[in-house]
Chains A and B, each alone.
Chain A
Amino acid sequence: MIPLPGSRALAVLVTALALLLAPLRAANKEINLFAWSEYFPQSVLGGFTRETGIRINYETFASGEEMLAKLLAGGTAYDLVQPPDYIAEALIRNRLLLPLDRAKLPGVSNLLPEYLNLPHDPEQRYTVPYMVSTVGIVVNTERIKEPVTGLADLFAPRHAGRIVVVDDARELVTAALYVLGYPLNEINAKNLAEARPLLAQWMKRIKLYDSDSPKTALLNGDVDLGYVWGGEAARLWSENPKFAYVIPKEGAHQFIDVMAIPEGAKNVDAAHRFIDYLLRPEVSKAISDEFPYTNPNGAARRLLSAEQLANPASYPPGNRKFDTFRHLGETGALIDELITDLKNSR
């Protein structure tokens, strides 16, 4: 279609390819990291590579479920994964994580005790907390004048078409359970049947599902309210304080994203080194600078500025106790099916 010069072009191409492929064989000092999108500053990854010569392949997922599916598909040998607590619990129960060598992780002592030995990993044998986040409501107070204090307000009919929600089936169902007054881990056919009509109404009012970066649509003004990760809300607040963060009055939970080494990892030693590198106060601070989630690292928190600590979405004021997700087993499939079906029947 397009005229091309001589047939030697192909030969040149082949030679060039051979040259490009050559260095690939040499590089086996690398770890395959499977983690949330938008969760590692480039400087942190680059700093580790400069220091150790170990290259990091950062592959991303947008939900805990996606992570589990790709890990189980076994297409790639990951050396390091970053599941949320309840997915980690499932992996531990199915013996899909390797126990960590604590001798190689002196940095664990930097972590605050309230984030250790939680139900998903009671002895802290398999996981190390990375960041913690609540899930809450963001309100663009310039556009939304009436107060929004809970989930029922958020999904009120008057907000139809102005809401962004994380693209995560379990978060949606949990929100509905809170409003109905059920504990968040009590998921069974009866509770879901009650939640269904409520969710069906809510989902008609949602404009956008986005787990990767719900803040983008809020910043762009495409939506004015959101049910999003605390870290996203924190970035919005630091961008412009008109984005208020509300912990829903009906109930709120936090999730702990952890680092863990999956069964079948090739580079276990390098993976440990990377985990310990992440636990260093100055590295952990650098992560907080770019991704202002709740930092479980006490030594790193001391390095944060007063302004960072004042961010209500990162460090919610008051001493409210937050729930955590537990692994659901069989009933997890019910959630998937409910949300898929509801989304599809719009």
Chain B
Amino acid sequence: MHALSDTAPAPAGGRRAGVMAWLLLAPLGLWLVLFVVVPIAGLAVYSFCQRDDLGRVIYDFTWENYARVFDPIYLRILGRSVGYAAVTTVICVAVGYPVAWFIARQRSPLRERLLLLVMIPFWTSFLIRTYAWIAILKTEGLLNGLLQFSGVVTAPLSLLYTPTAVIIGLVYAYLPFMILPIYGSAEKLDNALVEAAHDLGAGPIRAFSEVIIPLTWPGIAAGILLVFVPAIGMFAITDLMGGAQVPLIGNVIQNQFFRARNAPFGAALGIVFTLMFIVTYALAHRRRRSSASP
């Protein structure tokens, strides 16, 4: 998992590929072309099409779908989706980093056991876990019961179907994806380096920001990737915990395909969404390379 941050390592030396090597690689190449490149191209074609009154796609060229994507309404949704995913990611880093660090500092048997404890929730469906949160957060749910019983509040709080509930659901679903890669980096960190920083008189804050953070950055970056990307397109958690009233980009795209019966417009949204990602990655990649070269 930690290798994620390094998705494009320089091809290892190796010998020049012969016919046999090409043939062996063909299934992989074909797979990627057929199921990644071609579908995205198909989506791009769809996004310039029109639809009939039942919602069937008509292959007639139009720019209209893109004009609509850049309507302020949809731009606001895109912005809100990025916002939700960003808040989720930041909370995951803040909550997960100390945990990952702590686990990485433990001795062997305890360390593996703690790691296992992080992973076990993975093994139940995230939807069922989300549903458990509904039981906790609803107006006559466990949390309100507890709060009222202890006298903290008199009237039950409205917790479910709010943005806070959505964020709780998202953080809960993706937290392990943040802890594991950071753990991967922190575990490799040489204790001596941290001590050296102390010996040189660095306070804990400086040691942290100037030694520890840079050294565990690959893990943090991988974690951000693993949390931010799925969080931005998620529609199930927003449906279940947000009451389908805070639409995010995932809900809107899904709606275009299955409710509004406007697949071309949904495709246009998907294409713009993808382009946004590609640009972000390209920028991040260039920055990383330029900062790594000197």
Contact = CB atoms under 8 A, between A and B. Distances in A.
Given A69-B257, A72-B54, A221-B139, A343 B247 contact: yes
B100 to A, nearest CB: 14
B77 interface: yes
Contacts, number: 95
A161 interface: yes
Interface in B253-275: 255-263
A63 B160 CA distance: 24
Interface residues of B, number: 36
B76 interface: yes
B244 A209 contact: yes
Given A161-B158, A209-B243, A222-B160, A332 B53 contact: yes
Contact of B262 (A90, A161, A336): A336
Contacts of A20: none
Chain B, interface SS category: loop
B164 interface: no
Contact of B259 (A330, A336, A341): A336
B82 to A, nearest CB: 15
Contacts of A344: 73-74, 76-77, 247, 252
Chain A, interface SS category: helix
A69 B1 CA distance: 38
Interface residues of A, number: 36
B132 interface: no
17 contacts: A2-B116, A65-B258, A65-B260, A68-B261, A167-B244, A207-B161, A207-B245, A208-B245, A210-B244, A220-B139, A220-B141, A222-B139, A222-B140, A336-B260, A340-B255, A340-B260, A346-B246
Interface of B: 1, 53-56, 73-74, 76-77, 115-116, 119, 138-141, 156, 158, 160-161, 180, 243-247, 252, 255-263
Given A94-B54, A207-B243, 16 more contacts: A65-B258, A65-B259, A65-B260, A66-B259, A69-B55, A69-B257, A72-B261, A90-B54, A207-B245, A210-B244, A217-B243, A220-B138, A222-B140, A329-B53, A336-B260, A343-B247
Interface of A: 1-2, 63, 65-66, 68-70, 72-73, 90, 94, 161, 167, 169, 206-210, 217, 220-222, 329-330, 332-333, 336-337, 340-341, 343-346
